[in-house]
């Protein structure tokens, strides 16, 4: 959630208002919504002022009534005045609460302010490549797509998953299931042992407030699976429960950063994505992911953002997968992010780079919504900055391995770093 007090300030030079207005334009939002928001907030303040004024009058009247009672004077007239004043205050309080609700609801629909280093652009075509690591492998044959390879090996079964559940689900069988499990273990081991994250196994179901806390609701309410008759929803990523671990709490400055690595299944309805990536496991309703979450001191958040990105990159390097890092432009960046790097892995079957991780700095956007703060010695509580990134998306890593390590006979070489987790198996065949 953005800081409405900062929006109202009019400092010399480029004010927060003007900078945020440009962010909205870059994100393809109508900037006129800011004028509507500030007008609503002025209305809210007006009702609050009137409530406070009438309460002061009520307090004074109460003192007069007490005096009249003590002196035995007639009470009818002043009693009627007190009743009218009480009714007026109740009406003003209702108007104040309504204005407060409208301001809050409007704030919930506004995206985060982009960091000054985010490139301005209208679509993913204007994302900026930061670096490219590794060169795509040359094949002596025409490389196949992962779903062809997986079905031929008998490790992916889409037809039977469609029978059991429906479209965009898959059975992982035999070495396919083992490969998925091996990747989860490798990633958790690297992130906990080498990068210092605390491993966490969070709930796979969260309530609406937790979704609001990370900026998933209300914008993406139709993108998740809801449990009928409850306020529970299947998580689309471990970001939802893990970031909210410290919701409504104040941490000690010395305890920062707080860092967690969590494996979870992820569930996404992805309404509006019909027709996209209908074959294979690029876009599934259910998939596995290892998520990295960091709660950090505001002064260090961009340094920490680079570190988080490097941690996700380490997995791609270990698996010898060619990839690139791109900085998302204003028209492609996520709703809650202030800055985001996408890691895109090369897929020879498709002949394109595809996203395998998004590493985002949310600054205090999520912390304001979830009310996560820290206190330094003798200081006032401040909001932490939150960061997260996939470390990595497991299904897409399977895709990348099948396509990059495929051989002409249909077998697939297992990356060396993964072999200890595969019981020494070096080839899928």
Enumerate the active-site residues: 268, 283, 355, 358, 396
Rounded to whole angstroms, how far apart are CA atoms 22 and 34?
A: 11
CA 56, distance to chain mean position in Å, is: 44
Q: What are the residues whose beta carbons fall under 8 Å from the beta carbon of 229, sequence distance 6 or more? A: none
CA distance 256 to 374: 8
Helix (H, G, I), strand (E, B) or coil at 307: helix
What are the start-end ranges of the E strands in 308-401?
Answer: 323-327, 339-347, 352-361, 372-375, 382-383, 385-393
For residue 28, is it left (φ>0), alpha (ψ between -120 and 50) or beta? Answer: left
Distance CA 246, CA 263 (A): 18
Tell me the C-alpha distance between 134 and 264, whole Å. 29
Q: How many CB atoms lie within 10 A of CB 387?
A: 29
Q: Quick one: CA dihedral 180, 182, 185, 191, positive or negative?
A: negative
**DSSP states of 176-209:** HHHHHHHHHHHHHHIIIIIS-PEEE---SEEEHH
Q: Is 171 exposed, middle or buried (CB count within 10 Å of its CB: 0-12, 13-18, 19+)?
A: middle
Task: Please enumerate in sequence order all residues whose Cβ is within 8 A of that of 180, keeping only pairs 6 or more positions apart, or say none.
Answer: 172, 288, 394, 395, 398
């Amino acid at each position: 959630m953005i800081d409405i007090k900062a929006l109202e300030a009019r400092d010399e030079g480029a004010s927060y208002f003007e900078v945020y207005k440009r962010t909205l334009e870059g994100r393809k939002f109508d900037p006129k919504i800011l004028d509507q928001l500030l007008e609503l907030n002025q209305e809210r303040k007006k009702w609050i002022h009137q409530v406070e004024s009438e309460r002061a009058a009520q307090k004074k009247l109460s003192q007069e009534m007490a005096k009249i009672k003590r002196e035995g004077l007639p009470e009818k007239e002043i009693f009627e005045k007190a009743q009218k004043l009480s009714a007026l205050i109740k009406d003003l309080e209702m108007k104040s609460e309504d204005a407060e609700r409208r301001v809050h609801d409007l704030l919930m629909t506004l995206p985060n302010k982009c960091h000054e280093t985010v490139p301005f652009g209208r679509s993913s075509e204007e994302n900026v490549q930061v670096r490219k690591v590794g060169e795509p492998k040359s094949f002596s044959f025409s490389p196949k797509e992962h779903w062809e390879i997986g079905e031929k090996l008998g490790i992916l079964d889409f037809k039977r998953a469609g029978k059991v559940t429906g479209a965009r689900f898959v059975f992982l069988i035999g070495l396919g299931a083992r490969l998925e499990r091996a990747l989860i273990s490798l990633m958790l081991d690297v992130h906990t042992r080498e990068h210092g994250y605390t491993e966490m196994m969070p709930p796979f179901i969260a309530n609406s407030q937790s979704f609001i806390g990370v900026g998933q609701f209300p914008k993406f309410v139709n993108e998740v699976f809801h449990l009928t008759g409850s306020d529970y929803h299947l998580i689309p990523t471990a970001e939802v429960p893990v970031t909210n671990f410290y919701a409504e709490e104040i941490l000690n400055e010395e305890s920062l950063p707080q860092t967690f690595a969590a494996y979870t299944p992820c569930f996404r309805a992805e309404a509006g994505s019909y027709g996209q990536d209908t074959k294979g496991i690029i876009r599934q309703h259910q998939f596995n992911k290892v998520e990295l979450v960091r709660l950090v001191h505001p002064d260090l958040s961009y340094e920490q953002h680079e570190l988080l990105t490097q941690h996700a990159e380490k997995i791609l390097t270990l698996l010898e997968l060619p990839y690139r890092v791109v900085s998302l432009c204003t028209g492609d960046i996520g709703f809650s992010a202030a800055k985001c790097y996408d890691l895109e892995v090369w897929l020879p079957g498709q002949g394109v780079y595809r996203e395998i991780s998004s590493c985002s700095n949310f600054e205090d956007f999520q912390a304001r919504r979830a009310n996560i703060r820290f206190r330094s010695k003798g200081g006032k509580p401040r909001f932490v900055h939150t960061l997260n990134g996939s470390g990595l998306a497991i299904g897409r890593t399977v895709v990348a391995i099948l396509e990059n390590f495929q051989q002409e006979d249909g077998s697939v070489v297992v990356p060396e770093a993964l072999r200890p987790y595969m019981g020494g198996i070096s080839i899928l065949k």
